[in-house]
Structure formats: C-alpha cells, structure tokens
Structure 1
Amino acid sequence: MTAQLAGSDNPTQVVLPGQAAAPDGPNDPFMMYLMHYAFRRDLYQFARTAPRTPVDDHATWQALHKRWALFRDTLHHHHTGEDQWLWPLLESRSSAAEQQTLAEMEAEHGVIDPLLAAGDAGFARLAAGADDAARLELADTLRRTHDRLIAHLAHEETDALALVQRHLSPQEWTDLEAKFGEDSSLTDLFRVAPWAIKGLDGGDLRSVRTHVPKPVWLIARLCLRRFTAADRRAFRYDPDATR
C-alpha cells in the first residue's frame, strides 16, 4: 500500500502491513519501513512458534537459533545506525520537545537490547538441549520483546519519522542511508534481501519492487527459494506458516 496527501508534491510514502504511520514530507524512508515490517513479522512468528516447538527437537531449535541470529543482527545494525547517525543529526536541529522524542528513542533501544540478549541465551539453551522450563522462559522473553519492539516501532514511525521529514533534506536522507550500509558486505545483502521481502504479496510486493534498486531486487528473488527452505525448517511448528 502507499499513502500520499492530496495535492502534495512529496514522494508517495509506502505503508506496509503493521505500519503505524507514514508522515508526509520530502523524504522517502522506504527502507526504514521495510525493515520495520520485517522486524514485526519475525517477532510475531518467533512468539507463535517457540511455545509449540518440542523441546526434544534439537535440529529445529538449532534452525530457530540460526534464524534468530539473522533477525537480531539486522535489528542491531538498524538500531546502531540510528543511535550513531540519525538521532544525533536530528537532535542538533530539534526543539526541546522534539529532543525529548529522540531521548525516548534511545531509551527504548536500551530496553530492547537486554531482551535480545535474553533471546540469544534462550535459543542457545534449547538448541543445546533443555527442558520445558527453558522453553517457557524463552516464550516469556519473546512476548516481552515483541511488546516492547512493536511499541517502539510505532513510536518511531509516528513521531521520529515526522522529525526526519521536518528537519532533513532528501540529499541528507540519501547520505544517511549510505552510511547505514557502509559496513554491510555482499554476503549481508544475500542474507538480508530475501529476508526483508518474506511474506509480502500483491500490491505490497509490487510497491516494494518499485522502490528497490534492480540489482538488489534480483538478488532478493535469486536467494528467495533457498531462504524460504531454511525458513520453513526453522518455523515448521508455526500453525500460521505458509507451507
């Protein structure tokens, strides 16, 4: 889906499943929204699947542990870029009230990081062989991580992205996106590209395709079959997974 104010010359804003807002403005933070979509999708699926995965199915827990690492690494990279480059740049141009929003963004990252570490530990324990108590603890961790991250993404989309539209020029936004990708390798692209578009179909998928550079889109489609096979092994006990 897309959204644009009537009569506006600003770029059309992408609205993907679960997205809380898409503030109008001169910038096109499409990749931000796509990452947010993928983070939401993953946490819903981890939270659904972990309580249903038998504790003695070690191969599936190992697959889930590896899949969690992809989610965690991508989220960590995303949050690091915001903390290092995006929030400081916005803070230098913001009012006191707007700076409070940015302080809240950083504080929310600080709450989410320990939950991700707890998820790491929980998946590692179950991949190595654990019991029902460990699975219950992990399920609780995933539920709390889900609740915190979903609230944070909605806050970011509603308030922080409005500051991006208010204070940054399109060239500045383009430069920031380049910084976000500076330490990413080709291997990272082959991992993340198919992951990002998982679950999109219809108009949402077509909208994403119009925004993604053609080489990146080709990599995503090229790697999608292999990614999907591994993904299905990890989430084999998800009752809502597409078979």
Structure 2
Amino acid sequence: MADVRDMYMAHTMFRREFRLLPQLVRDVAPGDIQRAEIVATHADKVCLILHLHHEGEDKAVWPRLLERGGEATAAIVPTMEGQHHGIESALETVTALLPTWRSTAQGGEEVAAALDLLLDRLLEHMALEEKEILPLAEKYITAAEWAELGEHGLANSPKKELPLAFGMVMYEGDPEVIKAVLAHAPLVARLVMPILAPRLYASHAKRVYGTPTPPRVGA
C-alpha cells in the first residue's frame, strides 16, 4: 500500500518556503526591480509546485478514498476538497499580483498580504491532511496509485525546473525517504539527482535568501 512518508517531506518544504515568502516580499525596497524579479521568480516556482501537488491529489487521491473508504472518508474528503478550492483561490490571487510587482516593485504589501492568506489556508490544510487523510491513504490507496501524484507533477512541470524542485524537498528530507523516492527513477536520475539537486537549491537559496541554508522548519 501507499508509503506516505514522501507527503510529509513535501509538506515540510511547503511550510518552509511559504512561511518565508511574505517577509521576502516585504523586504524588497519599493522600486528595486532587480530584487523583485528574484523573489517573484521564486514565488512563481513554489506556487506552481503547490498547484500541481494539489491537482494530483484531486485526481488520484480524493476519488479513490470516497470510493473505498465508506463513512470514514465521506466525512473528511469534502472538507479537503473545500480547502483545496480555498487554497487555489489564494494562489490565483498571488499569481495575478506577481507580474505587476515583479516589473515595478510597487505594491509589495498587497502581495505579502495575499501570501499571508495563502499560508494560513495551507497550514490549516496540511495539518488536517496529516492527521486525517494520510492514515486513510495508507489503508485504501496502493503504492502504484500513490505514485501517480509524483508522476502528475513530473509530467506537468518544466523539465529544467525538476532538479531544483527536488532540491527544495531534499533540503530537509529524510535520506531514507529520498532514497525510496529515487528508487523508482531512471538510473541516471538516481545517480545524478542526489548530487545535483542540493547544489542547485543551495545556489538558488543564496540568491533568494542570501544564504544557502535558509531557516529550517524543524530548527
């Protein structure tokens, strides 16, 4: 059945990146277009990863839980779906505001406030998902079906962005879980990703946060 440890790892990444984003935006001086470009590009990346992650759940997880879980899932899945709608609405607001802020570095507080709202909704959702959904997924969803979540993200992400995205997850990831995830990847990815992905994230974090080691969720 499903090994859901990779979901906890993804959630850790989302908690870190989305908690840091509002202050990143607020720290950009009005008119500093060069810095706004860096932060907005980062925001776009993590927003896309989150959108694809939830889109995968909508397609691969909720229908199967409703079909197989009886009363246990009927009581919680609609709540999850409703939270996804709220998160997606907040994501759309953020992504609609980013282009103007990126090009002008004006109106940053509006962007930061939209990110605050997104963070609040996301934290509530992930906590409930970990408490209620992941135990059900282990019971009702097969490993092959669970793998469809990652496959959806891979298929719909720009290929050049995948190593960086994996590096974001690896930064605080459990080495055993990382190894289990890569076990299903092609040989070249298994050999290269553990070396390339952390380096790409360290370089990216240096540019975004000013340090290759941004604050960890567990720190």
Q: Which residue of 1 aligns with 2:160?
A: 187
Quote the RMSD (CA, aligned, Å): 2.4
Deviations 1:112-162 (A, max 9, x none): 11111111123222211143xx21111211111111100100111100112
Report the Cα distance in structure 2 between the residues aligned to 1:35 and 1:94, rounded to whole angstroms: 24
Report the Cα distance in structure 2 between the residues aligned to 1:220 and 1:56, rounded to whole angstroms: 38
**Do the aligned residues in 2 keep the contact of 1:65 with 1:120 (CA within 8 Å)?**
no
Corresponding residue to 1:52 among 5, 19, 27:
27
**Do the aligned residues in 2 keep the contact of 1:90 with 1:163 (CA within 8 Å)?**
yes
Q: Secondary structure at the match of 1:27?
A: coil
Structure 1 unaligned spans of 5+ = 1-25
Q: Which residue of 2 aligns with 1:122?
A: 97
Change in CA separation of 1:208 and 1:144 when aligned onto 2, cut-off 3 Å: same
Q: Which residue of 2 aligns with 1:12?
A: none
Bigger Rg over Cα: 1
**Do the aligned residues in 1 keep the contact of 2:13 with 2:169 (CA within 8 Å)?**
yes
1:75 Cα shift? 0.9
| 1:164 pairs with 2:137 | yes
Q: Which structure has the highest helix share of the two? A: 2
Report the Cα distance in structure 2 between the residues aligned to 1:122 and 1:217, rounded to whole angstroms: 39
Report the Cα distance in structure 2 between the residues aligned to 1:142 and 1:217, rounded to whole angstroms: 36
- The letter for the 1-side match of 2:163 is F
Q: Which residue of 2 aligns with 1:213?
A: 182
Change in CA separation of 1:217 and 1:120 when aligned onto 2, cut-off 3 Å: farther
Change in CA separation of 1:180 and 1:211 when aligned onto 2, cut-off 3 Å: closer
1:97 Cα shift? 4.6
Deviations 1:43-81 (A, max 9, x none): 111023211221222111111111112111111111111
Report the Cα distance in structure 2 between the residues aligned to 1:241 and 1:149, rounded to whole angstroms: 20
**Do the aligned residues in 2 keep the contact of 1:190 with 1:219 (CA within 8 Å)?**
yes
Counting only pairs closer than 5 Å after superposition, residues 1-243 of structure 1 correspond to structure 2 as 27-131=2-106, 134-168=107-141, 172-178=142-148, 180-182=150-152, 183-184=155-156, 186-198=159-171, 200=172, 205-213=174-182, 215-216=189-190, 218-236=192-210, 241=214
Deviations 1:178-226 (A, max 9, x none): 464152564343232112123x2xxx54344443426347314214323
Report the Cα distance in structure 2 between the residues aligned to 1:147 and 1:217, rounded to whole angstroms: 37
**Do the aligned residues in 1 keep the contact of 2:33 with 2:103 (CA within 8 Å)?**
yes
TM-score (norm 1): 0.75
Change in CA separation of 1:156 and 1:179 when aligned onto 2, cut-off 3 Å: closer
State the percentage of identical aligned residues. 22
Q: Secondary structure at the match of 2:192?
A: helix
**Do the aligned residues in 2 keep the contact of 1:61 with 1:123 (CA within 8 Å)?**
no
Structure 2 unaligned spans of 5+ = 184-188
- The letter for the 1-side match of 2:89 is P
- The letter for the 2-side match of 1:102 is V
- Equivalences, count: 206
